[in-house]
Every structure is written in structure tokens, then in C-alpha cells.
């Protein structure tokens, strides 16, 4: 495969507070955009499947412009003042629709716009210049991991055309565990040890990914330790499968490994034949 082919990515966006408190995951994302540019060139556009853009059937948001959506409540005022208003890429929508339809899957192209925090928070770190057009890809939360993997597979040709495919969710996501505690307890946990259940789930996922065990990963609800605790609902893990499908021909490589609040996993993955190249670029930048 041509070395200009982009990998696909999964990033954990965690809490919206990531935008104000970058921590290890935010620092990684700040390195990720430049590493992609150095290894493959600046993407022509970015297609993002976010855990916060959900529809009954897949839908591509093909507006010419996307405003920042503050789709959360109860956070500091400073968070609502942040903006990431990005250009869209409506000219790419017909090609994407054709790819998905050719795979025998539905896709609605809609003129709507807007970037939920699962999109704008990571991109604000990766491409702070807001100079890469974005196409949000909404997906059905009741589709199985296997179905969403197939949706991602339909997008494979985009990667050779300079389009970066990203799934944005969280490798573990149980906000009840985070917010059921007092503010003091949350502050203490933020820098404290990880819950054993979270560590076990993340390690199982990383091991099965490294082994290329797609069947186990599709069946994570039954096979992964503490799956129901770490994901009471599926939607924050499902974007992983879209990204994995878009890079199905290569390894599933964990690029980043961290956790906040003791239970909110912030892992990132790359998929496809060029995943190792991106990993090498990140490692070289870290030691430069």
C-alpha cells in the first residue's frame, strides 16, 4: 500500500473538561496532529464518528460550515466560551455516500452542521488552527460492533485520498462512577490509582487488539472483564469499531494509554497498514 495512505484513529475524549484540563491525553493529542502531518501530510478532510452524534441510521452531516456545539451542562463558564467553528466538506459527501451504499449499507446525507464535544475537543488539540474541513458521521447506537466495523470498512478508500477517519468515544466510560462522588473525592481520584476493573478492561482490550482478535472484540460484552461496569451503555465504545473497520487491513495499535478520575480510560488507537509508521513518528517526536 502507498505510504501516503493514512491510518484510521480512535481517540478517547473523556469528559468535556479535557478541553480545559488536557492532562496526559490532551498532551498526546497535541502531538498527534503534527505527527500525522509529518508522516503523511496534512489531511484533506476529517470524517469523525462521535459517541455524541447518534441517529436511527447512519447520517453524514454535510454542511459547508460547522459551529461549536456545547452539548453538556453544569460545567465552568470558561468551557462554554471555547470555540472550534470549522469548515465542512460537502463536496466529499457524494463519494462517501456512494462508498457506503456500495457496501449495502444505508447513509443519509443531510445539510445540517455542528460539532459536538466528542469532535471539537480532540480536534482543538490536534489541529488548533481549525484548518482541516470536518464531516461528522452520526451512527445508530443500536448497531452491533460488527455492523459498525462494516460501516468503517466502507470508508477504507478515503484513506488513500487524504481523508482521515476518526472514531471518538472513550475506551472506558461510566460517568456514574465519576460523578457519584463528592468534589473532594473526584479531585483525589483524578490523580489517584486506577480502579482494578478499569485496568482489567483496558488491558484486555489492548491485548485482544494486539492479537488482531476481532471476534473477541466484537463480543466484548460477554468476553471482556467488567464490561458492563466500564460501559453501562455501548455508545462511547462503538466509534472504536468504525475506526477499526476503516483500517481493517492492518494492526490495531494502541498509541496512548492513560486514565483520569481512576476509571475514565483515555486510550487512543491507530488502525491500518500505516499504524506502526504513525507510532514511530510519535516516538521520534517524543525523544527529539
Q: Give 120-151 pLDDT, tens digit per residue.
A: 999 999 999 999 999 999 999 999 999 999 99
- Are 148 and 68 in contact by the 8 Å Cβ rule? The answer is no
Q: What is the pLDDT of residue 176?
A: 79
Where are the domains positioned within the chain?
8-287
Q: What is the pLDDT of residue 8?
A: 98
- For the ranges 18-27, 180-189, 204-213, the lowest mean pLDDT is seen at 180-189
- For the ranges 90-94, 130-134, 171-175, 253-257, the lowest mean pLDDT is seen at 171-175
pLDDT classification of 251: cutoffs 50, 70, 90: very high
Span 248-262, average pLDDT: 94
Q: For strand 163-169 and strand 45-50, is the pairing parallel, antiparallel, or unpaired?
A: parallel
Q: What is the pLDDT of residue 186?
A: 45
- pLDDT-above-70 percentage for the chain: 94
pLDDT classification of 198: cutoffs 50, 70, 90: very high
pLDDT classification of 179: cutoffs 50, 70, 90: low
Which CATH entry fits the domain spanning 8-287: 3.30.420.40, 3.40.830.10, 2.60.40.10, 1.20.200.10?
Answer: 3.40.830.10
Is the pLDDT assigned to residue 184 strictly greater than 70? no
Span 232-249, average pLDDT: 97
What strands lie across the sheet with 252-256, from one edge to the other? 108-110, 59-61, 134-138, 45-50, 163-169, 8-12, 268-271, 252-256
Is the pLDDT assigned to residue 30 strictly greater than 60? yes
CA 71 from chain centre, in angstroms, equals 17
Q: For strand 59-61 and strand 134-138, is the pairing parallel, antiparallel, or unpaired?
A: antiparallel
User: Over the Cα atoms of the chain, what is R_g?
Assistant: 18
CA 114 from chain centre, in angstroms, equals 17
Is the pLDDT assigned to residue 258 strictly greater than 70? yes
Nearest Cα residue to 80 out of 173, 168, 169, 17: 17
The mean of the pLDDT values for the chain is: 94
Q: What is the pLDDT of residue 177?
A: 81
- Are 264 and 14 in contact by the 8 Å Cβ rule? The answer is yes
Amino acid at each position: 500500500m502507498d505510504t501516503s495512505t493514512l491510518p484510521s484513529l480512535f481517540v478517547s475524549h473523556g469528559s468535556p473538561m479535557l478541553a480545559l484540563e488536557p492532562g496526559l491525553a490532551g498532551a498526546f493529542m497535541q502531538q498527534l496532529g503534527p505527527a500525522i502531518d509529518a508522516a503523511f501530510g496534512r489531511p484533506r478532510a476529517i470524517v469523525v464518528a462521535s459517541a455524541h452524534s447518534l441517529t436511527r441510521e447512519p447520517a453524514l452531516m454535510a454542511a459547508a460550515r460547522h459551529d461549536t456545539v456545547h452539548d453538556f451542562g453544569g460545567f465552568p463558564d470558561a468551557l462554554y466560551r471555547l470555540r472550534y467553528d470549522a469548515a465542512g466538506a460537502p463536496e466529499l459527501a457524494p463519494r462517501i455516500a456512494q462508498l457506503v451504499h456500495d457496501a449495502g449499507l444505508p447513509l443519509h446525507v443531510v445539510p445540517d452542521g455542528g460539532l459536538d464535544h466528542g469532535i471539537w475537543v480532540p480536534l482543538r488539540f490536534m489541529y488548533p488552527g481549525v484548518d482541516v474541513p470536518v464531516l461528522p458521521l452520526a451512527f445508530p447506537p443500536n448497531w452491533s460492533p460488527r455492523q459498525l466495523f462494516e460501516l468503517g470498512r466502507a470508508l477504507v478508500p478515503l484513506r488513500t485520498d487524504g481523508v482521515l477517519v476518526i472514531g471518538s468515544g472513550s475506551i472506558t466510560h461510566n460517568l456514574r462512577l465519576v460523578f457519584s462522588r463528592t468534589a473532594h473525592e473526584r479531585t483525589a481520584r483524578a490523580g489517584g490509582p486506577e480502579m482494578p476493573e478499569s485496568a482489567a478492561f483496558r488491558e484486555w482490550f489492548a491485548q485482544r487488539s494486539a492479537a488482531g482478535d476481532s471476534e473477541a472484540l466484537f463480543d466484548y460484552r460477554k468476553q471482556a472483564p467488567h464490561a458492563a461496569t466500564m460501559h453501562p451503555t455501548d455508545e462511547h465504545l462503538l466509534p472504536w469499531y468504525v475506526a477499526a473497520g476503516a483500517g481493517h487491513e492492518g494492526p490495531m495499535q494502541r498509541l496512548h494509554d492513560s486514565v483520569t478520575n481512576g476509571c475514565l480510560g483515555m486510550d487512543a488507537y491507530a488502525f491500518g497498514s500505516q499504524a506502526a509508521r504513525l507510532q514511530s513518528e510519535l516516538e521520534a517526536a517524543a525523544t527529539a
